[in-house]
Structure 1
Amino acid sequence: MKNLQIENIVETILVRSGSSVQVELEDFFPGDRFAGGKYNFGTHTITLYIEEIKAQCLQLFKSLDHFEDYLEVVFAHEIGHAEDRELAELVQKMNETNHDFTRKGIALNIEENAWNYARKLIPQNLHPFMDTIIHYSLQPYYEALEVSA
């Protein structure tokens, strides 16, 4: 997929959201995590890691047939972080607590907030597809808290 197509997808979702967040496209996440996107609260910037998103799509769906939809969902989720009015307060609470279980619960809350916002940006016909992504995205948080989804 050419960068122009990716930029068009990003622009469409960005306009739909009404967000003022800045967006950068990179190939790979610089750390050792398997991150498709990252929201930077300090700079109000989302960075999308295109090759990581492709790898995630392949891992979950075994092909790139749904890459464009997958990209939309990942980007909508990152916009969910950018537009989360509770994010600053939740991050502060997470940084202030020494209780690991509480920290993990707050991390789950942050992710659920982003997914709930993202759901508003994704067309209804893609919600079953999105639900699969959400399930796999939240699974490690539920496992860390030893609860089921």
Structure 2
Amino acid sequence: MEKIKIEQVINELLMRSGSAARVQLESYFPEGRLVGGKYSMNQHTITMYIGVITEQCLQMFSSLDYMIDYFTVVFAHELGHAEDQDLSNLAEQLEICSTERERNMISLKIEENAWEFAERLLPEMDQAFMKKIVFYSLEPYREKIQMEIA
């Protein structure tokens, strides 16, 4: 993926969102998991992991034809974390949870908030494409909650 295209997407979405978050580009998430992006609340920094995003795009769409769109959606999601006015409060609640169910519900809410922001930020994005990414991103959170109910 061309670095110029990535930088154009980043600059466009930063401008569109009004975010002052700093953005860093890395190859891979240091803990080896397939994490495409990470927001650091303390540093107000978004780190995007290009190698991981490439792998995720291939896994989900069996092609890199959608790479820029996929990157755009994932970056918009991370901007959603950066601009979430409830994130600090939700993070505090997460630290004092008394049950695993409560922790999972709050984690899901944090992710849903970021995805709602991303969807508002990208009204021109193909909705079926975006819904697929959102569905697979939220699936592990929802599965944890469902397993507790069962």
TM-score bracket for the superposition, by shorter chain length: over 0.9
> Does residue 30 in structure 1 map to residue 21 in structure 2?
no
Matches within 5 A, 1:42-57: 42-57=42-57
CA gap 1:125/1:37 in 2 versus in 1, 3 angstroms: closer
Alignment match, 1:104: 104
Shift of 1:124: 3.1
Residues of 2 paired with 1:88 and 1:53: CA distance?
26
Normalised to the residue count of structure 1, the TM-score between the two structures is: 0.95
Residues of 2 paired with 1:112 and 1:33: CA distance?
21
Residues of 2 paired with 1:80 and 1:49: CA distance?
17
Shift of 1:125: 4.2
Task: In structure 2, list runs of 5 or more residues that go unmatched.
Answer: none
CA gap 1:8/1:125 in 2 versus in 1, 3 angstroms: closer
Runs of 4+ in 1 over 6 A off after TM superposition: none
RMSD over equivalenced CA pairs, Å: 1.1
Shift of 1:128: 1.7
> Does residue 91 in structure 1 map to residue 72 in structure 2?
no
Alignment match, 1:65: 65
Residues of 2 paired with 1:124 and 1:132: CA distance?
15
Identity of aligned pairs, percent?
A: 47
Alignment match, 1:124: 124
Residues of 1 paired with 2:83 and 2:6: CA distance?
22
Task: In structure 1, list runs of 5 or more residues that go unmatched.
Answer: none
Normalised to the residue count of structure 2, the TM-score between the two structures is: 0.95
Instruction: Report how many aligned residue pairs link the two structures.
Output: 147
Secondary structure at 2:126 match in 1: helix
